Structure formats: structure tokens, C-alpha cells
Structure 1
């Protein structure tokens, strides 16, 4: 199991947990830095570190086999975190996922394969993973779980078409989806995204 860093409130005291998933080339420090901007004071923060700073080696839309076994192992990492949290008494509504770029893709993929009423899913530039979009992989009911997608209209790594397909899939599975798509080409997290997430999911 990859190294996992704990920050924020101790798990024994927290009523909410944010699983924070870094992007390709990032690390736990880079994703935990978002806590300076997001309303996470009441959260325990759990940040896993990807081996070699990448959750899978190629694009999230590369041929599926090319990203194995890293992709499957990365899903197992998130599942291990969730199972550990459940063993500590947290239910799914107390667990939030926050990811950027590759970490957003992985968070979306995991929560769609394990759809239930999570506390929230926050995807800063991400979409569901696979060479072809394959809705048959996903099952369950989000039961109104808030899900956020934020990106530029022409991101260099994540096509808008995949974001829109992913958002529609989440809606079909009962999520309360919000998309904010910006008229730039920057691979970043914008203040408008931070503000919306703080006011509507992390309030």
C-alpha cells in the first residue's frame, strides 16, 4: 500500500474526511496545499502518495491495458482507504473525494465504480478513465451526492467531450452534478472553482 499522509483534524475527532488525490507529477504536499484555500478546517485529510508520483503511466484515455497494473492498483489504494475509514466508523456520506487532473480522473473512476451517497466528489479537471467511454463499468446510485467538474473548454490533457460524457454518467446515476467550464486553456484550479466548491459542497 502506498504511503498515506494524514493532516487536518485527527480521525478520532473528525466527523468528515477528505480523501485528497494528487495529479501526475504531484505529491501529497501539492494536493494538501489546497487545504489553504478550501473550507476543510473541520475535516480529517487523507492524502495517498502515488508510486513514482503517477497513478498510472499513460493518458487516462490510452489503451486500457497500457495503464495496467498501475491503474488497478491505484483503485485498490482508494478502496483500501475507504475500507479503513469505514472500519473506523465513518459512513460514505462523511467521505469526500478531492482530486486534481490525474487525481481527479482516479477519484471519478473510483466513485463511479462504487457509486453511493458520498459526501461529495470534487474533480478539478478530470473525467472517467478508459480509451473508450464505457458506461457498463459503472453501477449503483449516488442518491443526490454532489459532484463538481471544473475545467477549461480546451484543456491540454482532458478533452471537454470526456468531461461532458462523465458528468452525464454521474447524473444518470443520481448525482447532483455541477460543471464550471472556463473560456481559457489553462491546466489549473481557478478561484471561481474554489469559491463554488466552498459555498456548495464544503460548507
Structure 2
């Protein structure tokens, strides 16, 4: 039986297969973990072979604000079902995402009553869920990784997320990958791996 869950949320226009390779990379560090990478709920408007957590219109900021809440419900229900099937809980779960999936990982993970083991956001942005300002939700540790040459999702969005989350009392690990565009570079992956191992060590203390 697995002792941890790692749920991987892909980016816009991709599918679950896009990130499942991280499971192979992290298997040695997490030998008792179950890696799950679901497809987003809707076909991608710009890629008939891929999926989207929410649609992207001309104004990307508005698209994120309006698109994340409905997609949140899909992911929360998926997590609840997964926890019921495995006997695990939020405390055993890492929520990891890339790009649009990273936005969902942060939006969902920071809206739950029970804290996750950790959240990893690669090339993402933070769209605060309803009630975030109240400070009543759990405060799981957060890892933010972004390439400084990203032209798809502005690197400043991760920097802003880091400041906002720390201001609200979150433990944030923030890393900028120099010379990296919209993707996950080896240094960013190593940083995220160290973050994951640190959370496991803290949980086992």
C-alpha cells in the first residue's frame, strides 16, 4: 500500500502523460508513493489532442480568475475519491503542477481545510481561492519554481505569489531557473526534489 500520493496536474493543451515522467524521476526519492496524473476535464480549444483545466481567452488574467473555481471542484472531487480509494489523506499528498496545472495546484491546495504534505508549482501563478484572505484554510508548505525567460507565464507571477504567500504566513521555497523559458529545467527539478524530501523528513520527525 502506498504511503504518499503525488498528484501531477499538466499544463494547457497537454494530458496526464505529459507529467507522469516526473513519477519515474522521483520514484527513488519517494519509493512508497503512488503517482497519479489525470487528464484535465475539457478538450483543449487550441489542441484537439490535449486538455485544459480552463479556457484561455484574450485576457489571460480574467480567464484565470473565472476559470479556476469550476476546475477546482473537479480536482477536489478527484482528490476526495483518490483518498477514499487509497486510505490516505491530504496530509500524505503532494500536489504538483506545471503552468496551468500549477495554477490549479496552488488554487486548490491553498483552499483545503486539511493541509497537504506540500505543493509544487512549476511556471505557474497564484489565483487566491475564495476565503484566502480570512486565513482559515490550512497552510501547507509551497515550492515555486520559474524560468526567468518564460514568455508564456510571466516569471513575476511566481515572485508575486511568493511575496503574497509569505505575507500570509506560508512557508515558501522559491527558485528562479536562469536562462530557462517555459519548462522545467534540471536545477528547478533538483530544487523541487529537495523541497519534497524536506517535507517528508519533517513529517517523519
What is aligned with 1:25? 13
Residues 185, 71 of structure 1: alpha-carbon distance in 2 compared, 3 angstrom cutoff: same
Return the alpha-carbon distance in structure 1 between the equivalents of residues 170 and 114 of structure 2.
9
Structure with a larger share of its residues in helix: 2
- The size of the alignment, in residue pairs, is 184
1:75 and 2:65 correspond: no
Give the distance between the partners of 1:142 and 1:173, measured in 2 at CA.
11
2:47 matched to which residue of 1?
Answer: none
Q: Is the 8 A contact 1:56 1:67 kept in 2?
A: no
Shift of 1:157: 1.9
Q: CA deviation at 1:146?
A: 2.5
Unaligned runs of 5+ in 2: 44-50, 201-205
Residues 146-165 of structure 1 correspond to what in structure 2 (within 5 A)? 146-165=141-160
- Residue 58 to residue 182, structure 1, CA distance change in 2 (3 Å): same
Deviation at 1:117, TM superposition (A): 2.4
Higher relative contact order (CA 8 A, sep 6+): 1
Q: C-alpha distance in 2, partners of 1:170/1:112?
A: 10
Q: Any gaps of 5 or more consecutive residues in structure 1?
A: 1-12
Residue deviations 1:7-35 (CA, integer Å, cap 9, x gap) = xxxxxx01110111001111111110122
> Could you say if the C-alpha distance between residues 159 and 85 of structure 1 is closer, same or farther in structure 2, counting changes exceeding 3 Å?
same
Residues 115 and 183 (structure 1 numbering): CA distance in 2 closer, same or farther, change over 3 Å?
A: farther
Q: Secondary structure, in 3 states, of the residue corresponding to 1:180? A: strand
Q: TM-score, normalised by structure 1?
A: 0.78
CA contact (8 A) 2:176 2:188 kept: no
1:135 Cα shift? 7.9
Q: For the aligned residues, what is the CA RMSD?
A: 2.5
Please say if residues 20 and 32 of structure 1, whose CA atoms lie closer than 8 Å, have aligned partners that are also in contact: yes
Q: CA deviation at 1:110?
A: 1.1
Normalised to the residue count of structure 2, the TM-score between the two structures is: 0.78
Give the equivalent residue in structure 2 for 1:184.
179
